Chain A
Amino acid sequence: MTDRSAAGTTFDDFVAARSTALWRSAFLLTGDRHKAEDLLQVALVKTWRRWDRLTGGVEPAEAYVRRALVTTYTDWWRRRWRGEVPTGELPERPTTGRDGPGAVDVRRDVLTALAGLSRGQRAVLVLRYFDDLTEQQTADVLGVSRGTVKSQASRALAALRSSPALTDHDHPATEEEPS
């Protein structure tokens, strides 16, 4: 797989450099390590098929993978995971040193709160506040208008603000925002 390249970067190098960050985004979208790996691999297979046509360096390639991640996530949500319901009692995994103490509690509570969002809100939240994309970049990835991104982000933040799962954490403000 190393013989294909986009603007001089091999696919292997791209995966080595960027796939941990992409997997973390996929985890926040799916809330599950296995599904995150599955989602990322499907997105990477789609990307690999177009690798020789992705010109301009790593950034366009990463934008393509992010778009594939989100569209696949949305598609799977419809076809595969719609039976899932949010739960406040997600199975706990042993805390590992790499995640730090208390990470399991935070993870459980944030995932519970994220499960209460619509898939569009969740995707916007991950792209804007985890991947640190601008509103316009988020809109481009999702194929929606910038206004839609703003309204989805606003609703997502409001939902997190009122989520009971996050009452014990430093979470978004509960008081009125200044106008």
Chain B
Amino acid sequence: MTDDRETDQVKDLLQRTAPARPDLAPAERVAAVTHRARVVRRRQGLAAAAVLAVVAGGVGWAVLGGSDDGPAPVAQDPPAPAAPVACPDPAPVYTEVPTEAEFPVGATSLRLCPGRSDAGAPTATTQQFRLPTEPLTDGVDALLDEVAAQPAYTGSDPECAFTTLALEPWILVAGYPDGSTVSVGSGSQACSSVTVDGTPVDVGATLALVGQAVTG
């Protein structure tokens, strides 16, 4: 067996392994790339605007502090960081959780939480919930960027046609410094989508993405 023959065999196996064509046509891919670039640019723009607003506020404060109208204001400690967002209690019925959400820039915590299958069912507990429920407090905006920048869900996975989906309600809750929250959720953990910042994204991929960030 020569090196060349081995190389040829490996090349042949790799050629046979890679599917002949992707699911997306090139034009659809260009559109998806355009969309993702715009999502990233928009969120980066919002983040930059938020920084500018903070800087401008600081400048205004400094100008006021330097006036002759009275004593210079005493610098105050920055506000204490908000506590990580908590899971709603009781867990909401999944049909009442929005499947679309716009997450503003500035989220300081994120958490996966259980939902309920219906109003009469007992509240799901974190023990029964298989996804990690620990809060994420670092890189929340970056993670939400990644979630929103996933490929648009097409529902074309043929495996889903042969899958009986269990009802496994979940909610993704983002917390903000002012105590407000933004949520999105679904009754299933696969073969469906939720819409994040205008993009319908696969729930399985989204939960994997968030779950890995939380446990990583």
Is A20 in contact with B21, judged by CB distance below 8 angstroms? yes
Is residue A141 contacting chain B, with contact meaning CB distance below 8 A? no
Contacts of B11 in A (CB 8 A): 129-130, 132
From residue 97 to 137 of chain B, which have CB atoms closer than 8 A to chain A? none
CB of A33 within 8 A of CB of B19, answer yes
In contact, B14 and A28 (Cβ under 8 angstroms): yes
B192-216 vs A, CB cutoff 8 Å, 1 = contact: the mask equals 0000000000100100110011011
Contacting pair B151 A38 (CB below 8 A): yes
B27 at the interface (CB under 8 A from A): yes
Contact A82 B23 (CB under 8 A): no
Contacts of B6 in A (CB 8 A): 157, 161, 172-173, 177
Most chain A CB within a 10 A radius of its CB, from B1, B5, B13: B13
A114-140 Cβ-contact flags toward B at 8 Å (1 or 0)? 100000000001100110100000000
Task: Indicate if the CB atoms of A98 and B21 lie closer than 8 Å.
Answer: yes
Task: Decide if B26 touches A20 in the complex (CB within 8 Å).
Answer: yes
Say yes or no: A171-B212 contact (C-beta < 8 A), given A34-B151, A45-B37: no
**Contacts A170-B12, A171-B13: A83 and B33 contacting too (C-beta < 8 A)?**
no
- CB pair B40 A24 closer than 8 Å: no
Give A151 Cβ to nearest chain B Cβ, in Å.
Answer: 15
Contacts of A1 in B (CB 8 A): 30, 33-34
| Chain A residues positioned under 8 Å from B34 (CB to CB) | 1
Could you give 14 example pairs across A and B, Cβ below 8 Å? A12-B30, A16-B27, A19-B26, A24-B18, A25-B18, A35-B205, A40-B22, A42-B36, A80-B208, A91-B159, A130-B18, A169-B13, A170-B9, A177-B6
Binding site for B on A (CB under 8 A): 1, 11-12, 15-16, 19-20, 23-25, 27-28, 33-38, 40-42, 44-45, 48-49, 79-83, 91, 93-94, 98-100, 103, 106-107, 110-111, 114, 125-126, 129-130, 132, 157, 160-161, 166, 169-173, 175, 177-178
Where the two chains meet, the residues of B that have a C-beta atom closer than 8 Å to any C-beta of A are 1-3, 5-7, 9-24, 26-27, 29-30, 32-34, 36-37, 40, 149-151, 157-159, 202, 205, 208-209, 212-213, 215-216
